[in-house]
Amino acid sequence: MKTAHLLAAVLPILAVLAFAPAVPVLSPFLCLVAVMAVGTLWIRALIREPLTPVARLGLSVVAGLVSLPMTALVLYVVGVRIEGRGLALGLAIVAVALGAYVIVARPSIVGSPHPGHWVGPEEHPGTTKTRRLSTTAAVGVPALLALVIGGTATVVYQRLPHPAEPGYTSLALAGWAAGIARPVAIPPAGLEVPLEVSSAGEPGQTAALQVQIGRRPAGPGLPVAISPGTRPLRVHVPAPADGCLHSIRISLGAASTVFYGRGPFPARILTRRGPVAC
């Protein structure tokens, strides 16, 4: 297929992908065809030697797939939202540029090599040399594309402005409490629970360390200074007033952690009509 015919076929496909609603089976197929066509244009623009059908197919797939992240990177750099329409239009620009280069600067390139280079019972003059060149191209072109595009992407990403990561304060169970996997039996004297508080990217502050059993606070909050870094804490969890299962929520400002526990008393709650089971 001539380059002009290939452009005439791939540009309407990219226009459909850019402006038409996505169709579950048809759209992926059209995308695959477009990627293969762009990859073929890359091969015609970069490789002068004839290739076997297998080598040409493999290189077209690699070059076409590499064109997708390259186009997405360019869209990101110029501030265009990365979505299907933008990628399709970007691939259309790549296809037009490659096609124009092939038609103007490489007018002697054709779609496929002469069969005499590859098939037949006898070796033809120059076949071994051409095969070596094809093998070198099959390995070298994908490696060169990956190196150039990957290196460019890395350099561009490093030079782009990177906003500071948002600060955080987290609270987690530590020590023996980190292994809690089932409701904990809380003795009458209560339970000492080890904690770990971590903070980064936020100024030092003071927050209330609060224990909540079920929906009720277990006492007044204890003020705790929060500073950057990680530090251990311990909090006293009193025994619930009954033996029912309760959620034990420990909070420090907006950060919190939770586990479940039962008190040492019978699993009954008091009502106006007397004690009933939980």
The better pLDDT of the pair 144, 182 is held by 182
Q: H helices of 163-210, where?
A: none
Question: Average pLDDT, stretch 50-61?
Answer: 77
| Residue spans of beta strands (DSSP E) within the chain | 168-173, 184-185, 191-200, 205-213, 216-217, 222-226, 229-237, 245-252, 255-262, 268-271, 274-277
Share of the chain above pLDDT 90, in %: 22
Question: Tell me, what's the pLDDT at 54?
Answer: 76
Residue of 208 and 55 predicted with greater confidence: 208
What integer pLDDT is reported at residue 119 of this predicted model?
A: 39
Has domain 168-277 been given CATH number 3.40.190.10? no
Domain parsing of the chain, residue ranges: 3-159, 168-277
Compute the average pLDDT of residues 21-39: 85
Query: Phi-psi bin for 218: left (phi > 0), alpha (psi -120 to 50), beta?
Result: alpha
**Confidence label for 277 from pLDDT (cuts 50, 70 and 90):** low
Whether the pLDDT of residue 236 is over 90: the answer is yes
Per-residue confidence band for 194, with pLDDT thresholds at 50, 70 and 90: very high
For the cut 70, the answer to whether the pLDDT of residue 264 exceeds it is yes
Report CA-CA distances (Å) from 214 to 18, 83, 217, 247, 270.
54, 47, 8, 5, 16
Model confidence at 270, pLDDT cuts 50, 70, 90, reads low
What pLDDT digit, counting tens, does each position of 57-104 carry? 778 888 888 888 888 888 888 888 888 888 889 889 989 998 888 888
In angstroms, how far is CA 144 from the centroid of its own chain?
25
Query: From CA 15, how far away is CA 30, in angstroms rounded?
Result: 11
Q: How far apart are CA 76 and CA 90, in angstroms?
A: 12
State the Cα–Cα distance between residues 196 and 213, nearest whole angstrom: 20
> Tokens 């069969």 map to which residue?
115
Across the chain, what does the average pLDDT equal? 80
- The per-residue pLDDT for 87 is 86
Please give the pLDDT value at position 267.
65
Digit-coded pLDDT (tens) for 117-174? 443 344 455 556 666 666 666 666 666 766 676 667 677 767 777 676 778 899 999 9
Distances from the Cα of 236 to the Cα of 193, 232, 248, angstroms: 6, 14, 11
Which has more confidence, 24 or 165? 24
Give 242's pLDDT tier (boundaries 50, 70, 90).
confident
**Of 143 and 55, which is predicted with more confidence?**
55
